[in-house]
Structure 1
Amino acid sequence: MASNRRLWAYLLASFIGLAGLGGLAFYLNAPNEITQLPFYQKYFGAAVNTSEVTTPLSAEVASPVMTTPVVTTRDVTTNDTSKPLAAPDETPIPRPETGLHTAAINQVAVTRDGRLLTASDDKTARLWPTTNTSEPLVLRVPIGARGEGTLYTVATSPTKNSAVVGGSTGIDWDSAGSVYGFDLATGKMTGRIAGIQGTIRVLTYSQEGRYLAIGSGSGWLRVIDIDGKAMAMDGAVCQDMLVAAKFLRDGRLVTACLDGTLQLYDAGFHPQVSYKFPEQQRPWRFAISPQEDKIAVGSLDTAKITIFSLADLKPVTELTGDSSQRGNLSVVAWIGDSVFGAGTYGNAQGEKYLRVWNTNTQQTREQLLAQDTVTDLTPLPDGKLAYVTAEPAIGIFDPNTTEVTTRKRTIADFRDAFEGVFAVSEDGTTVDFGLQQKGRMPLRFDLTHRTLVHEFPSRSDMHHPVIPTALTHWRNEAHTALNSTPIALDQNEQSRSVSSLSDTDSTVIGADFSLQYWQKGKLIWHIPVPSSAWAVNLSKNGRFALAALGDGTLRWYDTTDGRELLALLVNTDERWIAWTPEGYFDHSDGAASMIGYHINQGKKDSPKFVSSEQIHERFYRPDLIGKAILENAPIPVASASDVKTVVAEHHPPSVRLVSWCVDKQCTDINSVDEIPKTRSVDSAEVTLRFALKDAGGGIGNVVIRRNKATVDTRTLHSSELIKNRASESIVEEKVLLEPGDNLVTVTAFDADQTVDAGEAIRLPIFYNTATPDAPTLYIVSIGIDQYAAADKLQKLENAVNDANGIITMMQDNSKNIFSIVKPIALLNEQAVLNKIKQTLIQIAKESKPNDLVVLFLAGHGTSIDGRYYFLPYDAKLNGNNINEINKQIKATSLTQKMLSDLLSALPTSRVAVLIDSCKSGTFAALGSVMQHSSQERAWTGSLAQNTGRFVLAGTSNEQEALDGINGHGVFTAVLLDGLNGKADQELGGNRDQRINIAELLAYTRQRVPEEAHKIDPTHAQNVSGFFAGSEFFDLSTSTQPK
């Protein structure tokens, strides 16, 4: 009776919850309740062994990704699942985020509308849009250390816009597997099925959507009756991992297990017939023929596919690979009369092929498909074939045209990097590495100069990995030993890399989940790493251990205690981002969002993910990045100010579009799917109505951008926050459009202006205007030689000349670009703070979206805590110490925040901010080139990122300011040459007689250091330039001959 009550309680609980499974909720540890029920014993016998099967695997399949890649078959678990965590750790976890998968893709499924959904070792699932260029929707599950969160399998509902995913999921906190359900419209978790015995290896829906089958690594099979809200089957069905399952149209179910069993069940899930494969021909994936009378089964061990009759599971024929190839045919698909097979099948060079058999004509053909293991194949509704690989890559093959389209990994592949280029300088600031496997396609990253280059000279201080002779069995093995002393590795872990100084005196060992450092035969530290350490190295000075990880990152560690100092992620397009454990980061152009922080929200709710771009204002600090290596010490921050505390405690509001209006005609938006892909309008203005909802952190500034340029920033007052029934505050804003394409985005900050909500609203609009107005050029040129505080600030020689020179040059070179030029010069005593502000405010009122605004600043400037301050004529510097002076500067200068707000109020995105500041006297603090240039990068990059405008700056020292070139400062002299045409004619300019911002940036970056060196060889003046907008624009016409 008590058991029956427990069953009904379980079934009643199942009526609530998971939308993705038709309203079925999930019940934790269900088998513990159900194993005593009579029906359970009738169909599945007495209690079964629920522990994970640990049948030893051969060395060739035990490795997650080998030099010659193979299919992964082992389960990744934590070290001790007998003592689970109470719940997922909610400490923010830094994760690379490039838009694509960063580790092997294990499976691909097709949604009912033809999109692809993939599951990956990188602990995400991704829903791919139909267009090859769009970014996928990321589905995130609760994750933990080591393998927790790794996804092996995915299935999409045939009747709903939903899916389920699973893998090494739930093991850390439940000691049992969990399946997570998702709404594919939002990407949000809708619930979970818990209590599965072992890691989740197989998920599949019946064709009418009634049943969901779940297979595990322990050979357990659970079938859930979604419509009946009951469990139709639950028990162990094989002696090893369940690797595949599919429903037939008539309700029958076919399963395959790694123990060699192929099993057919009837529609009532009673065993009908089975087949046992011989040893060394274990099944992996299978495919059903279109008529559902045959099944093709791939092999994990051989290049062979076996065809069976589905009437009795008797072999009909075998399809074999070409004898000249090697590897297995483990994954299979069946389209029309053709059977497709792939896996590790390929040539000696590591290229992987798709083999195709026509079952009618017996003809075969092959197609080069990948450079790594093909991990899954699935047919598409249009007759094409989708595939995924361990590279990772996702692609589509057209059998009719043989056309292959693919999206490949965009991060470095560090497998076996020690075989090629992987070296570090003695001081740790320079590292050579390859973007491709085995250290190919080498690059050099120089942290001091913030450069990433292809061609670089050899250096005697670069240390390459040295393999110690006393270390044995270290390469892709689990029984590594140092001087015959066994190296302790975690469960299911293998050693991947090693490097030493002076043979075994100091040795670093990289493995799947950890990094170890040994000195003189003694273990100094043993730390976890987020993914496999495919290559390791040590700097000659012994201070740094470097690891090249499977997630595409390079990591610097302190050899004294194993503390991580710095991480670097380089994309294959050579964008990069570097960050410290405290969360401060530096990045190249276009790389602001390449990392983020995953925050678990318990077992049942969708994790949060905060991109680095969402915290750019606070944590973009290039001036602090170098300190991590040069000073080899943690960056001092307040305990409440490190990135993990900030992203965990600061919650931006949710933002959703309610409606958008053109000429008072409004279109209501009830879901994200209703936002138009692109809408053409004839009006120069649209009105947005959007709803904000406090997520616990309050509601701060609302930021509206057009084509990445901020066009409106508002602080909403409590009187404006009129709430609807859903406790949302409705806000209405007008947005001016520029001719052509406009991508309008809206975000909002928390009340402390710390974390924004990302691009919560994205509305693409095309403004259709036949005759756009000719643009106006506004020039605001500010030059200050003599300051009111003359006793505090050294007189400059060139600032006024510089400001006048910019106006003259821009006026003379505006032919055929601008209809009107409006120059405004603010020189010396005219350049008081209030006048500067009012000038820009007035331009914001009268300018239009297609106008150009050039703001030139020449005078004294400084950086304090990574933020820039330009000193107007009336700046005050009273004080007896640097702290008092800094306080005065902050109160009386044109601050970076003030300048950002003024630029953001301009209706045009075509804004160029050109700054020639002199850092002398009070501000000429002693420091390295790196310190000065990185301080400049900090504020220029932040200003450009926050406003979406072009910012170009050069900070001169005292000698350069005095000497200059032809009556101008070095930076301005080069700037004028570039604007006069040299930027178009030299250094890769396109010679179209117009100078755009990209050409000007390239020209000044090359020429300014060269000219500064002529004046002061001891000082390296560099240029910092950033543009976070979406379209390069012209600044002037050239007077140079073609």
Structure 2
Amino acid sequence: MRIESGMHIAPIVGAVTTADGMLLLTGSTDKSVRLWSLQDGKLIKTFAIPSEQGYDGRIDDVSISPDGQKIAVSSFGDGGRIYILDTASGAVTKSLGSFVSGPRIAFSPDGRYLAAGFIDKKGLQVWTTDFAGPPVVDADYSIINLAYDGSGSGRLATVAYDNQVRLYERDLTKPPRILKIPGDGDAARPVRLAFSPDGALLAFTYEKSNRISVIDVAQMQLKGQFDTALLKNGGVFDIEFSADGKNLFAAGSIMTTKQRYPLIRWDVAGLGKPVVLEGGAEEAVTGLVATATGGIAFVSAAGEIGLYGPDARIVFNKSSVRADMRMKTVNNFAVAQDGTGVWFGLKLGAKDPWRFDVEKLAFNAMPARPSDYILPITDTLDIKNWTQSQQPTLNGKPVEVFAGSRSLSIAPDARSFAIGTDLYLFRLDATGKRLWMTSGGCTVWGVNHSADGSLIITANDDGTIRWHRASDGVELLALFVHVPDKRWIAWTPSGYYAASPGGEDLIGWHINGKSWNDTPSFFPASLLREKFYRPDIVQLVLKTKDVAAAVIQANEAARRKEEETKLPAVVEIVSDPRGIETDRPELELTYRLHSPSGRAVTRLEMRIDGQLTQARAMQEVNEELELERDNRMSLLLPPRDAVVSLTAFIGDQPSAAASVPVKWTGAKLSGDKPKLYALLVGVSAYREPSLRLDYAAKDAIDVEAALRAQKGKFFGDVETVLLLDDKADEDNIEIELTRLSKKVGPNDYAFVFMAGHGVTDRRGSFHFLPANASLAEDELAAKSLSGLVIRDNLRTIQGKVLFFMDACNAGSGIAGGQALADMTGFANEFAQANGVVMYASSTGRQFSYEKAEWGNGAFTKALLATLEDKEAFGGDGRLSIFELAESLGTRVETMTEGLQTPVMTKSAAIPNFYLASMQ
């Protein structure tokens, strides 16, 4: 299982730009490689290399060829390898190694060579980039870093553990020129280096000081030092010249009074005084890269990326999306008595505090620590020096832990204690004897025990909370929160998960090929939802303290059998990652199909901006479309910028969508106003008396009136179908859904609104209850409308599709023991239904409320109020899907005092669009 947040969640250890300054490539210890647009900071593509649990697959460095067509990745995997990836397809085309470690790497500025520097007495190795023969080798010394001269000279410089700088000419068969740095030991050891753009200067930093020295390359001698008196508070981790050579930049763990890690700039002429640039990073800056356009990009230990323009002003700064788990000690990390709840700050220490409740699967802001939550015990044993990466002691003697101590929790009975370090979690008995250790590969900033000592809960540098069985350290559960929008997911090591709406794709399955030379695949959790979306298992696992036992109990209660895992297909669009430019309406796409399971791929589906736009967008796979090779498909484009997506199916099982942006360079056409087709369903008068509602039918009537008011404003025409009470049986609803799919064209809108009851059956499937619904367990499926039927009808509609579900829960008294409707699971089904934007009235197992004072359900009342509120439409007088979501959320939570939380879900391929206007 791998976290996939759309950002790095661990330190970025390598960063480089393409020669044109358009793309930034980054690699992180989180085992991912990412390609970004330097125009706006948007993520373009994520690459995967073979990896396993532990350190295998951790990235050590990255480089990209000047033309952007090849990527090199240095990895600590299988001992150490260099992977060459095709940027367009993401495929591994070459694997070099295995080595003893992952080296520092760099493509030459002309793209003809790839250089690698090794720390284990293997020195320098340089390949031609056709990799037709063995590398040129200069061995017997250990390289710390290397850099190419970008001026065209072909020079290559290395710095090494012998405190020497070596300068190689283009002809690598000649011995390098060598400069021995004056001084002794670590203080004279160079670690980072950078050529000036004209190749005349070579600047470098030192391992044990903040000095920055400059070498005159022609003379191969020290020229001077920059004034670094300002850099007393922290260390310099990287340096870089600006593209014009006028400035040198440095950054690292230097912190300002604003609790930021800034960039420092010097005027190179005269080795001038330092200037602090405003902004910077939330955590230490780990890399700097000059851009061809005159800017300077930076990356950080928190996985941030940012860019300053030539004027030294921030162009963009993408902050980390993971929770900041630093300082989760003493009063900043509390757990419920039984360990099933955790209170922690999303920011440093206890700042921005929230609580996650495993039993209720609820994540809520909570300014004060719950009174019954317990803090870590740190004083019932004589343990000292357990913070700030020190060597802890027990009764005055060193404790057998390593990698720098960060956190402590003594068990309630004081017979054992847990210590979190920079890489490990240790449990030791009261005498200091180690009972077990486990590694998550990152710093354990916080640790606590449940009241009975059976669970150990940790706060980790990757942004996760993890629950461990105290007896042996086995992990039972993990939680990750996407901080900007508070989406979350909780999962067991075997992959069973519960998630907030839109949160399930924060993790997925990394599947290696047959060897360390093969391209791996990544499958978001949503693609395997049918088997692994199991909130019931997540709620049980901390009680059973055994995943297998929780699975058995949950399956018995739901009358489910363990299902086989069937991997979906993989489709890749082979194109320039910058996107495609065209002025022609017909576009030919090159794509590749893969089937990790070996099953036949049966169907392809093409969408533009997430919506079907033509009848031939769905087609059966021709027998001639082979796996593992280039295939081609033609499609018609609208005269505008768009995102084109392909999805491959094995039967009804979809792949993850592969997408590419298309920039339209032809004439742009302004068409007529779109037409709206709406189906509105409202059921108040159920045949089953216990299900009767007061306002569901009225909700549908009122929404229809609001939509008709948009005729002549946003829509050229509005056509509605209203199904109320006894007319809203399952047959009529399904018939009208089918008719709707036939009416709606590529430029039209489909609007589906359903108000009534919803339930979730034993297997976790959602059902909308029509007027004739039966609550008998053996009749529910036959006399209800399956959520899957709704989804499959809506996802085949051309045009833009808006789906509103205002479903009150039918309650816990349903025959057969069906649970309250799980609206989160149902909403996440629609996040994968590529063309549908869904608005659900509530999340989780909340009720959707209606009151006489509102005259509607809360969700419908909020919708109607928004459509009448000029302020909600913004300055342009139009209402977007995101503006509607924000308004619904604010209004409904206010009306219900936080008891009901509506949510919008959609595919990432669907851009923001408008759905109403004031005039």
**Distance of aligned partners of 1:418 and 1:99 in 2 relative to their CA distance in 1, 3 Å threshold:** same
Per the TM alignment, residue 607 of structure 1 is displaced from its structure 2 partner at its CA by 1.9
Q: Which one has a bigger Cα radius of gyration?
A: 1
2:93 maps to which of 166, 190, 207? 190
Q: Which residue of 2 aligns with 1:814?
A: 708
Q: Which residue of 2 aligns with 1:48?
A: none
2:693 maps to which of 798, 806, 815? 798
CA contact (8 A) 1:116 1:128 kept: yes
Q: Which residue of 2 aligns with 1:583?
A: 495
Q: Which residue of 1 aligns with 2:681?
A: 781
Aligned to 1:836, what secondary structure does the other structure show? helix
Per the TM alignment, residue 274 of structure 1 is displaced from its structure 2 partner at its CA by 3.2
Matched, 1:652 2:569: yes
**Distance of aligned partners of 1:236 and 1:643 in 2 relative to their CA distance in 1, 3 Å threshold:** farther
1:685-731 alpha-carbon deviations (Å, 9 max, x no partner):
9999977565523225645555445789999897x633157788989
1:496 maps to which of 406, 411, 430? 406
Matched, 1:199 2:108: no
Matches within 5 A, 1:638-787: 650-654=567-571, 656=573, 671-672=575-576, 676=580, 694-695=595-596, 696-700=598-602, 702-708=604-610, 721-724=622-625, 743-751=643-651, 753-754=652-653, 756-760=655-659, 769-773=669-673, 775-783=675-683, 785-787=685-687
Matched, 1:853 2:744: no
Q: Distance in 2 between matches of 1:263 and 1:851?
A: 65
Q: Which residue of 2 aligns with 1:33?
A: none
RMSD value over aligned CA atoms? Answer: 4.4
Q: Distance in 2 between matches of 1:364 and 1:154?
A: 32
Q: Which residue of 2 aligns with 1:102?
A: 9
Aligned to 1:853, what secondary structure does the other structure show? strand
Per the TM alignment, residue 540 of structure 1 is displaced from its structure 2 partner at its CA by 3.0
**Distance of aligned partners of 1:713 and 1:338 in 2 relative to their CA distance in 1, 3 Å threshold:** same
CA contact (8 A) 2:290 2:296 kept: yes
Matched, 1:946 2:833: yes
Q: Distance in 2 between matches of 1:938 and 1:111?
A: 42
CA contact (8 A) 1:495 1:509 kept: yes
Residue identity opposite 1:897 in structure 2 = L
Q: Which residue of 1 aligns with 2:506?
A: 594
Q: How many pairs were matched up?
A: 883
Q: Distance in 1 between matches of 2:362 and 2:846?
A: 26
Matches within 5 A, 1:239-258: 242-246=144-148, 249-258=152-161
CA contact (8 A) 2:327 2:446 kept: yes
Gaps of 5+ in 1: 1-93, 172-176, 657-669, 788-792, 878-884, 1011-1020
CA contact (8 A) 1:397 1:404 kept: yes
Q: Which residue of 2 aligns with 1:844?
A: 741
Q: Distance in 2 between matches of 1:810 and 1:95?
A: 45
Q: Which residue of 2 aligns with 1:85?
A: none
Q: Distance in 1 between matches of 2:761 and 2:51?
A: 40
1:912 maps to which of 779, 803, 809? 803
Matches within 5 A, 1:157-306: 157-158=65-66, 161-171=69-79, 177-196=80-99, 198-226=100-128, 229-238=133-142, 242-246=144-148, 249-265=152-168, 267=171, 268-279=173-184, 280-306=187-213
Per the TM alignment, residue 382 of structure 1 is displaced from its structure 2 partner at its CA by 2.8
Aligned to 1:417, what secondary structure does the other structure show? coil
Aligned to 2:503, what secondary structure does the other structure show? coil
**Distance of aligned partners of 1:975 and 1:385 in 2 relative to their CA distance in 1, 3 Å threshold:** closer
Q: Distance in 2 between matches of 1:1007 and 1:652?
A: 45
Q: Distance in 1 between matches of 2:561 and 2:27?
A: 28
CA contact (8 A) 2:304 2:319 kept: yes
2:891 maps to which of 1003, 1008, 1026? 1003
Residue identity opposite 2:905 in structure 1 = F
Per the TM alignment, residue 747 of structure 1 is displaced from its structure 2 partner at its CA by 1.0
1:128 maps to which of 11, 26, 36? 36
Matches within 5 A, 1:410-449: 410-418=321-329, 421-447=332-358
Per the TM alignment, residue 284 of structure 1 is displaced from its structure 2 partner at its CA by 0.8
1:388 maps to which of 286, 299, 316? 299
Q: Which residue of 2 aligns with 1:80?
A: none
Residue identity opposite 1:148 in structure 2 = D
- Length-normalised TM-score, structure 1: 0.74
Residue identity opposite 1:605 in structure 2 = D
Residue identity opposite 1:474 in structure 2 = W
Identity %: 22
Q: Distance in 2 between matches of 1:199 and 1:959?
A: 55
Q: Distance in 1 between matches of 2:264 and 2:844?
A: 64
Aligned to 1:259, what secondary structure does the other structure show? coil
Residue identity opposite 2:551 in structure 1 = P
Per the TM alignment, residue 552 of structure 1 is displaced from its structure 2 partner at its CA by 1.2
Per the TM alignment, residue 282 of structure 1 is displaced from its structure 2 partner at its CA by 1.7
CA contact (8 A) 1:997 1:1034 kept: no
Residue identity opposite 2:54 in structure 1 = R
Q: Distance in 2 between matches of 1:712 and 1:971?
A: 41
1:142 maps to which of 32, 50, 66? 50
CA contact (8 A) 1:701 1:715 kept: no
Q: Which residue of 2 aligns with 1:512?
A: 422
CA contact (8 A) 2:759 2:768 kept: yes
Q: Distance in 1 between matches of 2:804 and 2:855?
A: 13
Residue identity opposite 1:552 in structure 2 = G
**Distance of aligned partners of 1:186 and 1:300 in 2 relative to their CA distance in 1, 3 Å threshold:** same
990-999 or 96-105, which deviates more: 990-999
CA contact (8 A) 2:425 2:438 kept: yes
Q: Distance in 2 between matches of 1:215 and 1:629?
A: 47
Residue identity opposite 1:598 in structure 2 = H
Per the TM alignment, residue 234 of structure 1 is displaced from its structure 2 partner at its CA by 4.2
**Distance of aligned partners of 1:728 and 1:136 in 2 relative to their CA distance in 1, 3 Å threshold:** closer
Q: Distance in 2 between matches of 1:375 and 1:889?
A: 58
1:978 maps to which of 839, 857, 862? 862
CA contact (8 A) 1:222 1:231 kept: no
Aligned to 2:488, what secondary structure does the other structure show? strand
Aligned to 1:190, what secondary structure does the other structure show? strand
Q: Distance in 1 between matches of 2:304 and 2:336?
A: 33
**Structure richer in helix, relative to its length:** 1
519-528 or 609-618, which deviates more: 519-528
Aligned to 1:141, what secondary structure does the other structure show? coil
Residue identity opposite 1:905 in structure 2 = T
**Distance of aligned partners of 1:324 and 1:827 in 2 relative to their CA distance in 1, 3 Å threshold:** closer
Residue identity opposite 1:773 in structure 2 = K
Matched, 1:341 2:250: yes
Q: Distance in 2 between matches of 1:158 and 1:989?
A: 45
**Distance of aligned partners of 1:269 and 1:410 in 2 relative to their CA distance in 1, 3 Å threshold:** farther
Q: Which residue of 2 aligns with 1:1027?
A: 905
Q: Distance in 1 between matches of 2:192 and 2:628?
A: 49
CA contact (8 A) 1:425 1:461 kept: yes
CA contact (8 A) 1:476 1:496 kept: yes
Aligned to 1:844, what secondary structure does the other structure show? helix
Matched, 1:636 2:551: yes
Aligned to 2:52, what secondary structure does the other structure show? coil
Q: Distance in 1 between matches of 2:677 and 2:282?
A: 52
Per the TM alignment, residue 102 of structure 1 is displaced from its structure 2 partner at its CA by 1.5
Q: Distance in 2 between matches of 1:957 and 1:727?
A: 44
CA contact (8 A) 1:700 1:749 kept: yes
Aligned to 2:180, what secondary structure does the other structure show? strand
Per the TM alignment, residue 236 of structure 1 is displaced from its structure 2 partner at its CA by 1.4
Q: Distance in 1 between matches of 2:63 and 2:655?
A: 33
Q: Distance in 1 between matches of 2:230 and 2:601?
A: 66
818-827 or 888-897, which deviates more: 818-827
